[in-house]
Amino acid sequence: MITLKGAAVSARIKEEVSEMLEKLGGAVPRLAIVRVGEKPDDISYEKGAKKKMESFGLAWESYVFPEDISHQDFREEFIKINADPQIDGILLLRPLPRQIDEKEIERLIDPGKDLDGISPENIAKVFAGDSTGFAPCTAEAVIQVLKANDIPIAGKRVTIVGRSMVVGKPLAMLFVKENATVTICHTKTADLEGACRNAEILAAAAGKARMLDGRYVGQDAVVIDVGINVDENGKLCGDVDFDSIQETASMATPVPGGVGAVTTAVLALHLVQAAARRAEK
């Protein structure tokens, strides 16, 4: 089995970003990272995003708010960030605390700065196959991994385990745009094993540690593991039991070192695209 590592894909995206930056004539796109509270997952992702921005030659600024901030106070601060002409793109770390109306914030964000595809306008564009809308970074990272490794998508049977708006549903639309035949599975799916084994490309985005083992993987399938979990030993792992699929899968992404590394690269790509579009206007 071939291990599909994210570093090479990230490097390829970095080249694309560098070419786009040259066309911006020295302007450095700026990312706003908005975080509420001190959740370890959010802090970890923020750290990775900052590191990627710096390595790609991009600027960032963090906006951190207390866990107990009121909806109205957060709304006012977010509107200021949203309207700041020095900011080209926004990454809002979610989920937000319960007292904040997350749906209202999603409606407020400028679609042109919405790099992670959370605004209704960008979601609608993704579902309509309109490439001017930003797709969620993780969903797009899956497609980037496949294309960077010259893995055909058109005409392939694809199974996605997970139906969230963060990965599962938008990823399904991206696959459909690439002319794949897509099955979306979830906790209510009858014969989940069979549906997964039928896939030529299997994308795991259920959010459950090592949920899928060798029984779920068809012979020579390509397995893309989107999950990031912490196992009973405190180690990072994916939704797929990587060791158990060695004899059946033809290729698979590891966790860590797979899709996650590409996700922040896609965020950087979206930031430069957003800056370029603003410059055109």
Give pLDDT tens digits for 58-84. Answer: 999 999 999 999 999 999 999 999 999
The pLDDT value given to residue 249: 98
The pLDDT value given to residue 147: 98
Mean pLDDT of the chain: 96
Pairing of strands 229-230, 236-237: antiparallel
| CB contact set of 102 (below 8 Å; sequence gap of 6+) | 94, 95, 96
The pLDDT value given to residue 235: 86
The residue among 204 and 281 whose pLDDT is bigger is 204
Closest CA to 205 of 139, 265, 136, 249: 139
The pLDDT confidence band at residue 26, using thresholds 50, 70 and 90, is confident
The pLDDT value given to residue 158: 98
Whole-model pTM?
0.96
Give pLDDT tens digits for 29-59. Answer: 999 999 999 998 899 899 999 999 999 999 9
Domains of the chain: 24-113 (3.40.50.10860), 137-259 (3.40.50.720)
198, HSE (Cβ side, Cα atoms, 13 Å): 15
For 192, other C-beta atoms within 10 Å of its C-beta total 19
The average pLDDT across 221-241 equals 92
d(CA 138, CA 204): 12
The CB-based long-range contact list for 124-130 (8 Å cut-off, 24+ gap) reads: 126/170, 126/173, 126/174, 127/170, 127/173, 129/173, 129/176, 129/177
d(CA 18, CA 128): 29
